[in-house]
Amino acid sequence: MKKVRWCIIGAGGIADRRSIPGMLLDPHNEIVAVMDAVPTVAQAVAEKYGFPNYFSNAEEMLKTVPCDAVYIATPVFCHYEQAMLALKYGCNVFMEKPITLSAKEGKKLLDAFKKADKQLMIGYMMGYHNLHVKARNLIQSGGLGDVNLFKLQFTCWYPDIPGAWRQTRAYSGGGAIMDLAVHCMELFTSITGEDFQKCTAYFTTKTFNYEVEDSAVITFKSEKGILGHIDVNFNVPDNAATGKMEIYGTAGSIITEGTLSQEEAGKMKYIYSPQGDYEAQQQRVTGKAMTYYGKGGNMYTKQFAAFNKLILSGKRDYTNAERALRIQELCDHMYKHNQY
């Protein structure tokens, strides 16, 4: 079996929590080395999974251990330089979201990968959730008629933690927008196939004391006129989160709950109920709802499988990276021009 040999940069956070366990479910992934800036973390992760090599210096790892691809799961301010370093060693790169601190960096990065004919993909895994795939298929087959309204909500509890990179603008690029809204923006685009024409945000730091926003509401219009909004908060308790997506069209609606998450969980209610005439009596009868459930698959396994398919076939597809760059352009715009 052909395998993709992986080196990992930034082994201790989401890599250890979700991505490595997801990768190990697919025998096409072979993890040949891990690196973390904290040497004890690199060693602990290598020992936990039985990986043959660990490092605390990324260049030393790439010089020493031959690989096909590098998975980068470090704080956002590291992304650009580490992806360029991997490219210098001839590697394809799968990197965590958001692409980079700014669209300017993201564009330079993507141009460099295209020029070198190496694959770059960004870790927006939520599009692989079986219910989000179902929503995409329903919309594309006309199951909602014309989509008119699209709402997404993604929250977590993220209190003040001294020294946390996500709470420092220079390291994260921003707060709830850079961390959570980017997932929602990617989902909107991947489900509808439409780009944003305009995004406008209100954002503020209401509950905590860090410098990045803990609350944001984005309103948007898509290129074909879908209106919508994205609500993201760092100040809603985890147990009160809904992780919701609502889509309304001229022939029905889709409402998911608990699907914006790191697990393929939650449920989706779909109503197909086209209506001809105006109902003057306003005696509403709710259309028949179909309910579907998260299948408990692993979105991380699926995102790496999509990447591996390209690497093993020698094909390139920059759709995902271009979308990640577009999202970054919109984030830059909102941070620069909208109310804080």
Ligand X SMILES: NC(=O)c1ccc[n+]([C@@H]2O[C@H](COP(=O)([O-])OP(=O)(O)OC[C@H]3O[C@@H](n4cnc5c(N)ncnc54)[C@H](O)[C@@H]3O)[C@@H](O)[C@H]2O)c1
Positions that interact with ligand X (CB under 6 A): 9-10, 12-14, 18, 36-38, 41, 73-76, 78, 96-97, 123, 125, 179, 262
Amino acid, res. 36: D
Shortest separation between residue 274's beta carbon and ligand X, angstroms: 37
Min CB(151)–ligand X separation in Å: 21
**Amino acid of residue 15:** A
Rounded-to-integer distance, Cα 45 and Cα 9, Å: 12
Closer CB to ligand X, residue 210 or residue 248? 210
Least separation, in Å, of the C-beta of 23 and ligand X? 13
Least CB distance to ligand X at residue 148 (A):
29
Beta bridge partners of 290: 270
Q: Could you give the CA distance from residue 149 to residue 226 in angstroms, rounded to a whole number?
A: 6
Compute the distance between CA of residue 87 and CA of residue 84 in angstroms, rounded to an integer: 5
Task: Between 148 and 262, name the residue whose CB sits nearer to ligand X.
Answer: 262
Pair 72, 83: CB distance under 8 Å: yes
> Token digits for 290?
């179909």
Pick between residue 175 and residue 249 the one whose CB is nearest to ligand X.
175
Shortest distance (Å) from residue 6 CB to ligand X = 15
Query: How far apart are CB 113 and ligand X at their closest, in Å?
Result: 17
* Neighbour order of strands in the sheet with 54-55: 54-55, 29-35, 4-9, 69-72, 92-96, 120-123
Closer Cβ to ligand X, 59 or 246, answer by number: 59
290, 161 contact by CB (below 8 A)? no
32 vs 76 by CB, closer to ligand X? 76
Nearer to ligand X among residue 139 and residue 187 (C-beta): 187
Q: Under a CB-based contact definition with an 8 Å cutoff, are residues 135 and 191 in contact?
A: yes
Closest to 191 (Cα-Cα) out of 262, 101, 115, 129: 129
